[in-house]
Amino acid sequence: MSQENMSNDNVESPTEDPTDDDMLLETDVTSGLEEGTQGSRTTHERTIVEAKDVNVWYNQDQALRDITMQVPENKVTAMIGPSGCGKSTFLRCINRMNDMIDAARVEGELYLGEKNVYDDDVDPVALRRRVGMVFQKPNPFPKSIYDNVAYGLNIQDIGGDHDAIVEESLKRAALWDEVKDQLDESGLDLSGGQQQRLCIARAIAPDPEVILMDEPASALDPVATSKIEDLIDELAEDYTVIIVTHNMQQAARISDKTAVFLTGGELVEFGDTKKIFENPDNERVEDYITGKFG
């Protein structure tokens, strides 16, 4: 699949009209509170990311097999599964991070709103403005706290009042009160948990629609983990969060939907988190989440 000479003309900017219904595939408008939603989040489910028969290979090794799923908007969707099952690979397909791996080959369709992100006319950089990402290890740049948050605004040439955006992003990342008097100090001087919240602030500054998180709390202590989990719950009021985690209890605590990938790159079950953890349909899923294999 060629990724050269792409323009971002056909990638709709979320800042123009992020609530435009036409951008989203309406799928399940009848889903009720009892259907596994958490907190006070909307019960109105609309699909924002949709995979249709997505297959991924690394050279000759198939990492994902015929993944078809619909990720609802403004929900937390967790992806769990044993190491090597392909869950992180799928995550990286959504913002085309796999483009950076020469050996990776992606087939199938993967929609953000109504646009297949693998269409030739999609600019991956513009795509990543709509799909932010937070990684396992906090990775602030060796810059000031302010510049870390404003980084995406500058490189993507996003206008507006940067001071206000930085402050709002740090507030949304629940970090503002801790750093408001030291914005010029290095982001590297923060604690691990603060660094990860700084990375989340950096990810949300360009106002993405989707935030991808690849084990965002696995390197943090329980207190910092708890703050990240609370933050994820709050972020889901404004963003769609897709999180890969090895911690099944974390998936159970924070997500509305859970996708279970098993060895071989297969999506074995996808549904309401409550259903997955109380009464999964698939026996292999039951065995995995109860620890009987994997």
Partner 1 sequence: MARQNYQEKLDSLESDVLYMSEVVVDRLRTALTALENKDDDAAWEVIDGDSEINSLYLDIEQQCVDLLALQQPVAGDLRFIAASFKIITDLERIGDLATNLGEYTLDARHDVYPEVDVQSIGDKTVSMVEEAMEAYAAQDTDACFEINESDDELDAMCEHASQSVVRELIENEIDDGTDVETVLEEVSRLLLTVRDLERIGDHAVNIAARTLYMVENDDELIY
Residues lying near partner 1 in the complex (CB under 8 A): 248-249, 252, 277-280, 286, 289-294
Strand partners, 137: none
Structure tokens at 275: 């259903």
CB-nearer residue toward partner 1: 211 or 289: 289
- Nearest approach in angstroms of CB 78 to partner 1 is 13
Query: To 5 degrees, how large is the angle CA 243–CA 245–CA 249?
Result: 110
Least Å distance, CB 87 to partner 1, is: 18
- Closest C-alpha to 205, from 242, 238, 244, 178: 238
Pick between residue 144 and residue 273 the one whose CB is nearest to partner 1. 273
Q: Which is nearer to partner 1, 180 or 292 (CB)?
A: 292
- Rounded Cα distance between 251 and 276, Å, is 10
- Pair of tokens at residue 165: 């955006």
As measured in angstroms, the least distance from the Cβ of 123 to partner 1 is: 42
Per the listing, tokens 């706290």 go with: 145
What three-state secondary structure class fits 171?
helix
Q: How far is the CB of 80 from partner 1 (least distance, A)?
A: 11
Nearer to partner 1 (CB atom), residue 66 or residue 286: 286
Cα(73)–Cα(227) distance, integer angstroms: 23
